[in-house]
Structure formats: C-alpha cells, structure tokens
C-alpha cells in the first residue's frame, strides 16, 4: 500500500541528484565535490534549502544569499523523477523490474536534460543504456531475439534517416548520439514495439515544435531546432509503462 509513496519520495531524492549530475556535467565539475551550492554566488545550501521540489517554492525560485534565479531545470527534473518512479512502482510493484527500470529512467532523464540544453548525447550515458537494454530480457517479459532485433533495427532506422536527411539538405538533422541512444531504447522495447516508440516520439516532438512556433515569430519558429533524444526517451518510457494498454486499444 505504501510502496508507491515511498517510491515517490525516493524518486524526488534521486531527481535532486540528477540535477547535480546535469549541472556538473555541463560545467565540467565533479558530482562529489563541492557540496550543493548556488551556481551564481557559491553559497553552500543548507539542508532546508535542498529539499527536493519543496525548497524551490520555499525560496520562490531564487537563491537566498544572492537572489539569483534558480533554473526551472531543477524542479522539473525532480518532479519528473518523482512522478516516473511512482508510476513504475504502481506498474511493477517491489520487484527487480522496478529497480531495473528506475535505473534506466534515471539515465534517460539525465541524458535528455543534457541533450535539451546542448544538442549532445554523451557516450557516458548512451553506452550504459545500451548495455542495460541488452540485459532487459533478464527483467522484462521480452525475448532475447526481440530485444536484439530492436537494438539493431532501431539504430539502423535512425542511421538511415540521418543519412537521407544529410543527402537531401546537406546538414545533419540527427546526430550520432541519437543513433547510439536508439540501440538501448530499441533493445528495451523490442522490435515489435519499436514503431510505436518512433510514432510517440514524433508526435511529442511535433507538439513541442508547434508550441515553439506559437511562442515565437513565425519565421523564427519554423527555423527552430529541437533535440530528438528527449522525445525518443519519453516515447520509450511510455511504451515500457503502458505498452500492453496501448496494444489493447490497437496502437501497439
């Protein structure tokens, strides 16, 4: 009864750690030292200033020492981590599948946040995700053949799209990071549900692109570039959680 709520708290705490991972990667710092601090003035955060999600609202989104604005990346990642971990607990209960997918979700959240800000998917995240994807049949109801075919065809599909777009436009529309990311994501869902991942990712990316156009001048909006990695991760996560239900209604 209480497991999903415990998972929510765990997810919020992990989300706070994920924000540190993203910030320290972007700035080239260590995730161990120094302790949590304000990026603007270096003020070391006290325990009550470091409560996941809650501290952001208590501090009204600003550093208590210097008044610098706190990036919305922090509460967003914490909320996504808490909500996704609770959803995993509701879907899988206290099981090895829950632990496995919690680790996978953490990597996807950190990689997506970095990709969103830099248009880069570092190998330090895509390679471990690929290894976890290949191990997915140990924890999920997925055959080894389905998983390996998903990895190969998923990466091959994006490689083909990347090559065609480059030949057509003369510029890269997808980076190699997306291809590497798809090795792990394809292995996690298997070849049978790979089309659903691509469909969901494309629909989510299109929705965000339309919002970008609506919020900017039309000529600028049409030239807006958005990374595809976060949407691939989102589509994969949805399929992992709700793949059976989506299949039941005829989408998977």
What values do phi and psi take at 172, rounded to 5? -80, 125
Provide the whole-model pTM: 0.92
Q: Select from 246, 251, 204 the least CA-distant residue to 229.
A: 204
- 70 and 121 fall within a common domain: no
Candidates 49, 79, 51, 52; CA nearest to 62 is 49
Q: What is the CA radius of gyration of the chain?
A: 19
**How many structural domains does the chain have?**
2
pLDDT tens for each residue of 142-187: 999 999 999 999 999 999 988 888 888 777 778 889 999 999 999 9
State how far the alpha carbon of 149 is from the alpha carbons of 68, 108, 145, in Å: 49, 21, 6
pLDDT in tens, 73-83: 999 999 999 99
136 and 226 in a single domain? The answer is yes
Residues 100 and 74 placed together within one structural domain of the fold: no
Question: What phi, psi does 64 have (nearest 5°)?
Answer: -70, -25
CA distances from 82 to 12, 99, 103, 138, 160 (A): 4, 14, 13, 25, 36
Domain encompassing residue 242: 95-252
Please tell me whether residues 117 and 237 are part of one structural domain. Answer: yes
Could you give the CA distance from residue 151 to residue 130 in angstroms, rounded to a whole number? 8
What length is written for the chain?
A: 252
Q: Indicate whether 87 belongs to any domain.
A: no
Using DSSP, state whether 121 is helix, strand or coil: coil
- pLDDT computed for residue 167 by the predictor: 85
Across the chain, mean pLDDT equals 90
């Amino acid at each position: 009864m209480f497991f999903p709520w415990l998972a929510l708290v765990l997810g919020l705490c992990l989300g706070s750690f994920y924000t540190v991972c993203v910030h320290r990667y972007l700035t080239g710092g260590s995730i161990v030292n120094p302790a949590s601090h304000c990026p603007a003035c270096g003020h070391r955060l006290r325990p009550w200033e470091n409560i996941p999600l809650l501290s952001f609202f208590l501090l009204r989104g600003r550093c208590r020492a210097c008044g610098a604005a706190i990036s919305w990346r922090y509460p967003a990642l914490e909320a996504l981590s808490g909500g996704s971990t609770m959803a995993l607990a509701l879907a899988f209960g206290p099981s090895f599948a829950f632990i496995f997918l919690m680790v996978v979700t953490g990597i996807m959240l950190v990689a997506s946040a970095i990709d969103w800000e830099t248009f880069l998917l570092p190998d330090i995240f895509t390679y471990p995700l690929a290894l976890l994807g290949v191990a997915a049949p140990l924890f999920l109801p997925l055959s080894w053949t389905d998983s390996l075919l998903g990895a190969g065809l998923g990466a091959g599909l994006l490689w083909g799209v990347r090559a065609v777009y480059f030949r057509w436009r003369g510029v890269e529309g997808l980076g190699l990071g997306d291809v590497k990311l798809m090795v792990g994501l394809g292995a996690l869902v298997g070849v049978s549900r790979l089309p659903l991942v691509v469909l969901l990712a494309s629909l989510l990316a299109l929705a965000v692109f339309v919002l970008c156009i609506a919020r900017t001048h039309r000529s600028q909006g049409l030239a807006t570039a958005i990374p595809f990695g976060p949407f691939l991760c989102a589509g994969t996560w949805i399929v992992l959680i709700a793949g059976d239900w989506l299949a039941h209604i005829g989408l998977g």
